[in-house]
Amino acid sequence: MRNPQLNKHGELQHLLTLDGLPRGIITQILDTAAPFTEVAEREVKKLPLLRGKSVFNLFFENSTRTRTTFEIAAKRLSADVINLNVATSSTKKGETLLDTVDNLCAMHADMFVVRHESSGAPHLIAQHLQNTGRDHIHVVNAGDGRHAHPTQGLLDMYTIRHYKKEFHNLTVAIVGDVLHSRVARSQIAALTTLGVPEVRVIGPRTLLPTDVEKMGVRYCATMEEGLKGVDVVMMLRLQNERMNGALLPSPQEFFKVWGLTADKLALAKPDAIVMHPGPMNRGVEIDSAVADGSQAVILPQVTFGIAVRMAVMSMLGSH
């Protein structure tokens, strides 16, 4: 079966997940993003690539950073951006997801940026568009359930490449709540595809998927073991809103064992970078001194996110 993300010419048709996306496409996105970072320094922060196209931001779940950076990225490409406020939309009145999509298609949508609490929702939309012969409309997954958050994974790869230049000689640690994290899944897929030789995951066993080793990573039971000699530390947010049941004693207890402090970071390489997808829980997964410290690249991640989303949307919009 053909990769549902690629068209018959092997070009990016939808961006749904980094799992199974060819290395060449990931590299092309990162290469395309590089010149876009410079647009922010111009007097006119706009390129004409998506002029006349309509991008619909369909966020069925809350988001500030992702929705805003998608909106900025689309506007810098000269697209018209329509933000749907789902809290007041027809979904509340009982309209199905695909009926909503059909209605927006009738308003001549060219691209959907979708966030949904259910894993697979963007895939469902992409399949529906394909089944109904609407190949000119593209879908970007902006985070679905526990499944994937591909643009976050891509901007993380862009950030790593920016600071570390190469992937083949890196040791990367992902720390915290992997179980509930679509970000971690996208990061692991991208890191392994790009040839990072050692990806470690660190966290309490209750917050790791049972078959985590099958994802091509090494499980480390303690911060001391996991952070030793790493080049990149990728922190995850503790996702209280997705938890049910007693997975953790308390946030304070979590911080004591798994929180990133300056002491623990000292185990990593001296030039290691610290990343976080945001929003941060200071004093839960990361200490303020580290979050604001010289090794943190958390705010550059946000800035690079705009260029990476511009790259994805311009590649999709070009066919």
How far is Cα 41 from Cα 286, in angstroms, rounded to an integer? 32
Alpha carbons 178 and 158: distance in angstroms, whole number: 21
Single out the residue of 103, 132, 169, 318 in contact with other proteins (rule: CB under 8 A). 318
Q: Which of 3, 6, 7, 34 binds other proteins (CB under 8 A)?
A: 34
Q: Describe the crossing of helices 23-36 and 150-164 by its angle, rounded to 10 degrees.
A: 70
Cβ proximity to other proteins, 47 vs 215, nearer residue: 47
- Per CB under 8 A, the list member of 3, 11, 22, 247 interacting with other proteins is 11
Residues ≥6 apart with Cβ < 8 Å to 185: 19, 146, 147, 148, 149, 215
| Nearer CB in complex with other proteins: 42/205 | 42
152-161 burial string, b = 16+ CB within 10 Å, else e? bbbbbbbbbb
- Least distance between other proteins and beta carbon 26 (Å): 13
* 319 lines the binding site for other proteins (CB under 8 A): yes
CB distance 33 to 304 below 8 Å: yes
297 vs 312 by CB, closer to other proteins: 312
Host H or E run for residue 258: helix 251-258
Contact between 143 and 149 (Cβ < 8 Å): yes
Kindly tell me which of 13 and 100 has the beta carbon lying closer to other proteins: 13
Residue 13 Cβ, how far from other proteins at the closest point, in Å? 12
Element (H, E) at 142: strand 138-144
Given candidates 3, 6, 7, 28, which one binds other proteins under the rule CB under 8 A? Answer: 28
Q: Candidates 13-21, 36-44, 146-154, 209-217 — which segment interacts with other proteins by CB under 8 A?
A: 36-44
Contact 111, 53 (CB under 8 A): yes
Shortest spacing between CB 309 and other proteins, in angstroms: 15
**211 sits near other proteins (criterion: CB under 8 A):** no
Is residue 30 a contact residue for other proteins (CB under 8 A)?
A: no
Minimum CB separation of residue 77 from other proteins in Å reads 9
DSSP character at residue 244: -
Distance CA 225, CA 148 (A): 27
Binding-site string for other proteins from residue 39 to residue 68, where x marks contact by CB under 8 A and - marks none: ---xxx-xxxx-------------------
Give residues in contact with other proteins (CB under 8 A): 11, 28, 31-32, 34-36, 38, 42-44, 46-49, 314-315, 317-319
